[in-house]
Amino acid sequence: MDRKTKKQKRHDFTDEMEEKEEHAIVLSRKEAAEELLGQVVHSEEEAYKLYCDYSHRIGFSVRKGKQSYFLGTKNIRTKDYYCSKEGIKYDEPVTDVNFNRPDTRTNCKAMIRFRVDEQGEWKVVRFVPEHNHELAKPGERHLLKSARSLAKHGMGESTANTSCADALQVSFPTEALEEAADGMLENALVARRECYNQPDAQGVQFLEAGDIQSLLSYFKRRANEEGLFYWDTQVDQEGRVTNFYWRDSKNRNDFDCFGDVVLFDTSYNINRYGVVCSPFVGVNHHWQNIVFGCVFLLDQSKASYTWLFKTFLDSMGGKGPKTIFTDYNEAMAEAIEETLPETRHCFCHWLIQKAVQTHIPELSTCHSFLNAFARCVQGCQSEVEFEDAWAAMYQEPHIQDNPWFAAMYKHRHKWCMALNRDSFDGGINSLQWSENYTNMMNGISDESTSLTKFVFSFEKLLRGLRRSEFEEDFKCSQTAPVRAIKHSAILKHASEVYTHKVYKIFEAEFLDGCGASSCEETSCGETVYRYELTMQGRALRVWIVKLDTSNMEVTCNCKKFETTGILCSHALKAFSMQNVDSIPERYILKRWTKDARRRVYKLGQEEPVAQQSEGTEAEQAYKNRAMNYAHNLVTKSQELEESRKIFWDTLESGEKALDIFFEMRNLSAQQPPRDKDGNKIDRRKKKYRQESMSKKPKQPAVVPSTSGNTEVVARTGETQFYPPQDAAATTNPAALGLFYQAFQSTTVPTNQIYIPPNMQPMALCASQEMSAYGAPIHPSPSSTFGGTKNISRS
């Protein structure tokens, strides 16, 4: 199949998918009931497909339910289909298969019932549209189990999957990326040095001698097609490009959500050039790898690292991470200290344990030495214990004169856990996460990989990481993790707020503290308790926990919460001793929760330090967050005409609301100042009011009512509020304006006030801040005063 045919098929398939998605609109409950009730189909398969089609548009999966038969036959009389979350999960024997199987049941009552008549027609006779759980979003519906049945009938996973892929690849269309990659690869295979600087058919130079130019062309194309794509290069004194840095808009959004801890590893080389490829990597709320950007380093001098970290900081809106982990490099350490003064710089544990085998090959297979070094890195709990362990290890003759070991001891505060317990690592230092990172980078380059081809492989890697996170988000929204102790209140609370992966870590700590520890309690006051814990099978080490029950503040000398953001087993044991049945809010780190991404754009909730400051810095931080949020909404709404209209209408309504806000704000600024009681302060009238108070007040004018014995009193210099004349309209007075009558400051003759027959008198009201609108009054023909005024909200 030639390239032109592939392109045409891809184009036709995209058009077909877009046409189908235009009909995949979420129905309201009323529309759904009108659509399904009374529907008639002619077979069981058609009945199942009808409800599956509806469920796919709404966002839930279908489970086949009970059925009844005609008396004395096996012919179906009624057939029920339920939401897949119908019913509850009863206790069942635990097996290897179902131990970690998530719980999907929520006792949802949504269902549909078909009745079959004697002619074999299946008619909908009962329909319950209400669900008691969160429905799947449009981009998640291809993951629903019943979506497979739609694929059998011509509208299946491919449609939704395409939508999901497009939503994930917000930076560059997948089809265009693959097409460009195919074309560039073909040109690269036939390229020769004599055709240097000749562009290929796609407009991007991808020739062996022009690899740098092809990369620059690709970055320029990306920047034109994606507004928030960022890239930069560094050149040497002779004008030659030495370093490349780039990140897409999704990388920026990921950093806003999970950029508190970053790993920067310079140990990965591209084989073709020996160029260092160093991604900025973090950990998301599912304990998965997440990428914030990438750099090609041809020069590893201090100047290059200084340029790199300044560029990274600029690309992230001036916001740096709390902690950055790297391998050992003197030039890099100096550059980080200069460009990221507020960031804690640490050496990654597993990177330096890997490096020790390189710098001392004689001891690379000596397990006793490797274990002793690992104990110095992670096994010590105090500085004294570390010094003793280091002194014992330093007796080895191969390391006494080794400069690398001397440098490691000099910078021990950057990697020794005993000296570095107050730095947040998010689990990056764990061996389990290191294996995930190593597997992530393996296999994306070989000896023939050029820079541009590597970028395409890296983009494919990013799509895989984002798809994995997307699937985990869907799993967390539609299922609940299996709890080891079903009726534990604190585990139930943890399963509701944390993602499945983080919950399992929390559960392991909880079980370890409650089931494998011995505790001795001492009281330090009315609300403060001190616990000494020893863990079974872990020597004689004692952990000290202090708990203040007045504010639920807990501290432990293991500092696990400070480093990972998850409560340790010792603190959870103390909570258990005091019958605490939920996790205190202060100990739920939002980055580990299911809504970790949504919290980023909620004003006033865990805002960055820069945003809490004043002046230009806070304004820039707000602008960066708002632009990223708006970009995400634009990307999310661009698929369908209906979603684009919703987004555009939202912008217009927001603009109108802002206009009204600033208009009212300007009016308020023009109002005279008020005292503490809300009364206007007018110094020019102060003396006049004091003189008036000393005089004998005038008697009010009493106006006889024409509709009974009630009297209407009109005081001079005051205001009267009257309800509208339409008596039927008075049932909703808030929906209509109030009459505002301004009287002259003279005695009002009673024959000059016209009182409509159906007007009801109201007591005098003090001035108050409320919306009101001018309305015509009805003076008598001989009246020479009266009128209306508009009252504006101050």
3-state secondary structure labels for all residues of 343-406: CEEEECHHHHHHHHHHHCHHHCCCHHHHHHHHHHHHHCCCHHHHHHHHHHHCCCCCCCCCHHHH
What is the SS3 assignment for 93? Answer: coil
| CA 752 from centre of chain | 67
**pLDDT value at 47 more than 70:** yes
**pLDDT value at 750 more than 60:** no
Strands of the sheet containing 528-535, edge to edge, are 517-523, 528-535, 542-548, 553-556
Residues 645-659, mean pLDDT to the nearest whole number: 84
According to the model, what pLDDT value does residue 93 have?
A: 58
Distance CA 753, CA 713 (A): 11
**pLDDT value at 591 more than 80:** yes
Q: What are phi and psi of 702, to 5 degrees?
A: -100, 125
In tens, the pLDDT along 48-70 reads 888 888 888 888 888 888 888 88
**pLDDT value at 283 more than 80:** yes
Kindly indicate the confidence band of residue 188, based on its pLDDT and cuts at 50, 70 and 90: very low
What is the SS3 assignment for 151? Answer: helix
What is the SS3 assignment for 505? Answer: helix
CA distances in angstroms from 762 to 663, 711, 719, listed in the order given: 32, 10, 12
What single letter denotes the amino acid at residue 257? C
Q: What are phi and psi of 430, to 5 degrees?
A: -75, 150
Q: Which residues touch 677 (CB under 8 Å, ≥6 apart)? A: none
Count each helix (H run) and each strand (E run) in the chain, helices first: 24, 21
72 with 22: CB under 8 angstroms? Answer: no
**pLDDT value at 395 more than 60:** yes
Q: Which residues touch 484 (CB under 8 Å, ≥6 apart)? A: 491, 507, 511
DSSP-derived letter for residue 200 is -
According to the model, what pLDDT value does residue 546 have?
A: 94
**pLDDT value at 270 more than 70:** yes
494 with 509: CB under 8 angstroms? Answer: no
How many CB atoms sit inside 10 A of residue 586's CB? 11
Of 297, 246, 233, nearest in space to 455 by CA: 246
83 with 60: CB under 8 angstroms? Answer: yes
402 with 359: CB under 8 angstroms? Answer: yes
3-state secondary structure 18-64: HHHHCCCCCCCHHHHHHHHCCCEECCHHHHHHHHHHHHHHHCCCEEE
Residues 559, 560, 562: CA angle, nearest 5 degrees: 65
How many CB atoms sit inside 10 A of residue 713's CB? 13
131 with 83: CB under 8 angstroms? Answer: yes
Residues 471-498, mean pLDDT to the nearest whole number: 91
Higher-confidence position of 490 and 431: 490
Q: What are phi and psi of 388, to 5 degrees?
A: -65, -45
> For residue 126, what are the β-bridge partners?
113
**pLDDT value at 785 more than 60:** no
333 with 266: CB under 8 angstroms? Answer: no
According to the model, what pLDDT value does residue 675 have?
A: 58
Burial status of residue 5 (CB atoms within 10 A of its CB: 0-12, 13-18, 19 or more): exposed
Distance CA 356, CA 367 (A): 12
According to the model, what pLDDT value does residue 588 have?
A: 95
In tens, the pLDDT along 672-720 reads 666 555 555 555 555 555 555 555 555 544 444 444 443 444 444 444 4
